[in-house]
Amino acid sequence: MEIKHINHPPTILNRYIAELRDIHIQKDPLRFRRNLERIGEIFAYEISKTFTFKEQEVKTPLGVATEFLHEEEIVLASILRAGIPMHNGLLNYFDRAENAFISAYRKYTEDGEFDIHIEYISAPDLNNKVLILTDPMLATGSSIELSYKALQKNGKPAHIHIVSIIASQAGVDYVRNMLAGEPVTLWLGVVDEELNAKSYIIPGLGDAGDLAYGSKL
């Protein structure tokens, strides 16, 4: 498994991540969702640089041009809820992609512990395709792990890209150990050092799903 950090050297991406984190700017959910979406667009562009391109002729009104077009068949998969705006950003760029959705959520018990539950998955055949699995937050890594395993039932992709904007170091280590030797690239915006007692990333940004779509019972 390979890890790619896309915030070095700094670019305009760092402003979008700063806005996601900012407790004042977070009060605007439209901007929060749009920042997730445009970061999804930036990841899409970076991931496209890893594709295989083949020369193809394009007939214009005045002649014939040669362009390099990628050959990969892409499936975009995202983890509900917080993955949806990033999914939309990736889909803006990979507009011919097939799509998969997985519900993985933390179900808390009265003592504050939680399990991750997967109750819904909708995915096409994945054999020999490029799978891009998105979730803006990689905290413990459990949601990515369970989603990855659930998607394996739909076939073996040629390559898998896992995309997160804010990760904890513990989550990165967990995913790296789990997927050692697999044809996987883990794309990251930033890595924060800490997870708190409730497995939230510190400083992180809070709860991405709630900030995008409101609190839930």
Ligand X SMILES: O=P(O)(O)OC[C@H]1O[C@H](OP(=O)(O)OP(=O)(O)O)[C@H](O)[C@@H]1O
* Positions that interact with ligand X (CB under 6 A): 79-82, 104-106, 116, 135, 137-143, 171, 199, 207-210
Give the integer Cα–Cα distance in Å for 148 and 150: 6
The pair phi, psi for residue 209, each rounded to 5°, is: -65, -45
200 binds, among ligand URA, ligand X, Mg ion, none (CB under 5 to 8 A by kind): ligand URA
Only segment of 63-71, 108-116, 120-128, 207-215 that touches Mg ion (CB under 5 A): 207-215
Which residue number, 154 or 168, has a Cβ lying nearer to ligand URA?
168
Residue nearest to ligand X (CB): 209
Only segment of 7-15, 30-38, 109-117, 205-213 that touches Mg ion (CB under 5 A): 205-213
Name the minimum Å distance from CB 46 to Mg ion: 25
Helix ranges (H only) for the chain are: 13-21, 29-48, 83-93, 142-151, 169-178, 208-213
136 sits near Mg ion (criterion: CB under 5 A):
no
Which residue number, 116 or 150, has a Cβ lying nearer to ligand X?
116
116 sits near Mg ion (criterion: CB under 5 A):
no
Long-range contacts of the stretch 21-26 (C-beta < 8 A, 24+): 21/166, 21/203, 21/204, 21/205, 23/206, 26/205, 26/206, 26/211
Q: What SS3 state is found at 111?
A: coil
Give the integer Cα–Cα distance in Å for 204 and 194: 9
Give the integer Cα–Cα distance in Å for 105 and 97: 25
204 binds, among ligand X, Mg ion, ligand URA, none (CB under 5 to 8 A by kind): ligand URA
Name the minimum Å distance from CB 58 to Mg ion: 44
Residue 78 carries which side chain, given as an amino acid letter? S
